[in-house]
Chains A and B, each alone.
Chain A
Amino acid sequence: MAETGFLPKDKIEGFLEAISKDNVLFTPVLEGDVVIFRPFKAGNSLYLDRPANNSPKSVIYPQSDILFSYEYKKDIDDPKKVSVDIETHMDYPKTVIFGCRPCDAIGFNIYDRVFIESNGPDIYYQGRRDKTTIITLSCPTPYAGCFCTALGGSPAGKEGTDLLMTELEKGFLLEPVSEKGKAILKTAGVEEGDQYLEEAQKKQQQAHNAVNKPFPSISHTEISRKRFDLDEFWQQAVSKCISCGACTFLCPTCYCFNFTDEQTLEKGERIRSWDACMFYHFTLETSGHNPRPTRFQRYKNRVGHKFLFYPEKYNGVIACSGCGRCIRYCPVSVDISKIVSQLRSPE
């Protein structure tokens, strides 16, 4: 069997339909001016011209996930006696994410270390992760704010991906990365691709060279701890931050969450929902004390988590893929790549 596959452009609709027969399939579509991942429906217009506004992380790690439902029941004969019924919702279907970008896919590896490998496993995350296949589209060109290559990534990076697609003139070269990816090559419409490999690699290299590099490379040991701990540095760098959660919620590597019980009378649901260290409530303690009351302290945490604390815990891996969304969509254009450059330059 060939090592790679080729999907002609006119076969893509059939290919997606075939996948959607056995899987819940998410593809990027254009709605208004927004690119967003949606469950596939035949006739849905596929949109691959630019990365989606938000990363597809919610497919595996939903923004608001019902962990279980509960109901308190009173004993009719003895009203002081109350029992509670609990129901879980964990029958996750087989799922395919189609058309995310390498910087999105790598995010799932960053989550795996936290939710599966070292603290877990987190059954809700792992339940979906194991059942999901990720088909990634390599980027032909950089977009505003992109800086993946500075973080060791690439517009054709394969980390976290099961199958990598590269767009050529008449179709897509499909390079399997995992067993799940190899299985996809058997889908209807896929032809042999080895003859296109060289052309695809050339395109991938061109895209790689075009990406903006605000710094040549980065290790957490290069971050100046002295500057990082200086309040004045952060006041100067991010006094403009308005402390919303756009950066965090669009980010393919941010994973902080909150638990709430959403209850009405005797029934309720325990929910895990995304949280953002940009929010005042993130560190608000029951006493009313807040260790991070100012905006610059919260932004400092965001950079610290990605470029210092996470790598210190997980063998030097930086928890940022350089997708550029936080830069591109920030209402006041806070540029994390510039801040990291400043933190790593010699004192």
Chain B
Amino acid sequence: MIDKLKETVAKVLNDVDLVIGYENGFDAIHATPYFITSADQIDKLIWNPLCVHNLTTYLPTLKMKKVGIIVKGCDSRTIVQFIQEGLILRDNLVIIGLPCTGVISVNKILTETNREHIEEVSFDDKGNINVKTGKGPKTLAVADFSPDKCGTCQYPTPLVYDHLVGDPIKSDKAPENVYADIKEFESKTLEERMKYWEQEFDHCIRCYACRNACPMCICSDNCIAESRDPHWMTQKMTFTEKFMFHMIHALHLAGRCVECGECERACPMGIPVNKLKRKINQDMKELYGYEPGVNLDEKPPMFMFNVDELKIKEHKI
């Protein structure tokens, strides 16, 4: 698989300025984004369940360059959404798709190993990850240590690509379970939910890792969280300010969030910020029957206006 990927990247590199893929990170459990501009770099390219990042987040800033990009099924939804919104030029892009059976939640592994230094990581063909720390080796099922999104993944094979490396995979996950966790959370009382967010956002350090990791958060340098003109938010560290920021982030993603979970993965304080976005996406699906980033021919609901929205009664007055 990796040989075929390297071959494809070598081919693509002839026609583009750079290819974005993955290489090994600072320790055995971390992969890291890899910008390949010359053929001698290809050797270090990797592909395994540690390749968690949604690399498409770099694409809008590279809009005018010719870029080759490696995407998993979930990542490819971002590209569909980008194209719908006109944020990238399809002609400048060569997409290398990789069917994916699920990645690793590095955070879940680190919790399991008590955050000790991980010396070695390997994967076997039975779907396990072998992790070795100073205390010895551990064999864990990848499926048990995947991000939540993998557990309900509907699109293991990229929805848009120029080259597909590997055979397409069909999802075996029930579509009705995609928002099961959100429905469960909604069954709590308003007070319980408020208390939950008060506790979670108390950890927020306003580092904006969630915003900057988010591929769809495209106004990052002009974000109202820091802007003094308009001056909508103060620089105080209160719940009100933090909640305001996260709500604005979530609302700006209504019908746009592709649920890659990068916001949550990036958070150094472990705040489940993706929940807010997924709740809104669930509403968008119910109201407009729209799912972001799955169909190139669709127009996102917030990009158009229908006088007669089928499911919004007020419009019929």
Residues of A within 8 A of B (CB): 31-34, 36, 49-50, 53-54, 62-64, 141-145, 212, 236, 239-240, 242-246, 248-250, 258, 260, 262, 271, 273, 276, 279-281, 325, 327, 329, 331-335, 337-338
- Chain A residues within 8 Å of B153, by CB: none
| Contact partner, A258, options B32, B235, B262, Cβ 8 Å | B235
Q: B30 and A64: CB pair below 8 A?
A: no
The binding surface of chain A is classed by DSSP as loop
B170 close to A (CB within 8 Å): no
Q: B234 and A244: CB pair below 8 A?
A: no
| Contact partner, A144, options B27, B134, B205, B220, Cβ 8 Å | B27
Q: B270 and A244: CB pair below 8 A?
A: no
Which of B193-232 touch A at CB < 8 Å? 199-200, 203, 205-209, 211-213, 220-221, 226, 228
Complex CA distance for A240 and B199, rounded to whole angstroms: 32
- Chain A residues within 8 Å of B211, by CB: 244
Q: A327 and B213: CB pair below 8 A?
A: no
Q: A260 and B235: CB pair below 8 A?
A: yes
Q: B235 and A141: CB pair below 8 A?
A: no
Complex CA distance for A50 and B113, rounded to whole angstroms: 12
- Chain A residues within 8 Å of B199, by CB: 31
Q: B235 and A144: CB pair below 8 A?
A: no
Complex CA distance for A242 and B30, rounded to whole angstroms: 17
| Contact partner, A54, options B34, B237, B269, Cβ 8 Å | B269
Complex CA distance for A274 and B156, rounded to whole angstroms: 41
Complex CA distance for A275 and B57, rounded to whole angstroms: 24
Q: B207 and A63: CB pair below 8 A?
A: no
A–B pairs, 14, beta carbons within 8 Å: A32-B200, A33-B107, A34-B269, A34-B270, A144-B115, A144-B117, A239-B35, A240-B35, A244-B211, A273-B236, A279-B208, A325-B268, A327-B26, A335-B32
B31 close to A (CB within 8 Å): yes
Residues of B within 8 A of A (CB): 25-27, 29-35, 53, 57-58, 107, 110-111, 114-118, 134, 199-200, 203, 205-209, 211-213, 220-221, 226, 228, 234-237, 262, 265-266, 268-270
Question: What is the chain A residue whose CB lies nearest that of B200?
Answer: A32
Q: B117 and A242: CB pair below 8 A?
A: no
The smallest beta-carbon distance between A246 and chain B, in angstroms, is 4
Question: What is the chain A residue whose CB lies nearest that of B27?
Answer: A144
Interface centre among B25, B111, B115, B209 (most CB of A within 10 A): B209
Question: What is the chain A residue whose CB lies nearest that of B262?
Answer: A331
- Chain B residues within 8 Å of A36, by CB: 203, 269
Known: A141-B134, A281-B226, A335-B25. A242 touches B212 (CB 8 A): yes
Those 6 A-B pairs whose CB atoms lie nearest each other, nearest first: A331-B266, A329-B268, A244-B212, A280-B221, A333-B32, A244-B209
- Chain A residues within 8 Å of B265, by CB: 331
- Chain B residues within 8 Å of A145, by CB: 26-27
Beyond contacts A143-B116, A245-B208, A260-B234: 4 other A-B pairs, Cβ-Cβ < 8 A, are A239-B35, A327-B26, A331-B266, A335-B26
| Contact partner, A49, options B29, B114, B207, B268, Cβ 8 Å | B114
- Chain A residues within 8 Å of B110, by CB: 144
Q: A33 and B270: CB pair below 8 A?
A: yes
Q: B228 and A31: CB pair below 8 A?
A: no
Q: A144 and B118: CB pair below 8 A?
A: yes
Q: B235 and A262: CB pair below 8 A?
A: yes
- Chain B residues within 8 Å of A246, by CB: 205, 207, 209, 266, 268
- Chain B residues within 8 Å of A271, by CB: 234-236
The smallest beta-carbon distance between A267 and chain B, in angstroms, is 13
| Contact partner, B207, options A144, A249, A262, A281, Cβ 8 Å | A249
Interface centre among B53, B116, B212, B213 (most CB of A within 10 A): B212
Q: A333 and B235: CB pair below 8 A?
A: no
- Chain B residues within 8 Å of A335, by CB: 25-26, 32
- Chain B residues within 8 Å of A281, by CB: 221, 226
Known: A144-B115, A246-B207, A332-B33. A260 touches B228 (CB 8 A): yes
Q: A141 and B117: CB pair below 8 A?
A: yes
Complex CA distance for A245 and B57, rounded to whole angstroms: 17
| Contact partner, B26, options A33, A258, A333, Cβ 8 Å | A333
| Contact partner, A249, options B118, B205, B234, B236, Cβ 8 Å | B205
Question: What is the chain B residue whose CB lies nearest that of A338?
Answer: B26
- Chain B residues within 8 Å of A325, by CB: 268
- Chain A residues within 8 Å of B30, by CB: 144, 333
Question: What is the chain A residue whose CB lies nearest that of B234?
Answer: A262
- Chain A residues within 8 Å of B269, by CB: 34, 36, 53-54
Complex CA distance for A244 and B262, rounded to whole angstroms: 13
Complex CA distance for A250 and B204, rounded to whole angstroms: 11
- Chain A residues within 8 Å of B209, by CB: 242, 244-246, 331
Complex CA distance for A36 and B269, rounded to whole angstroms: 9
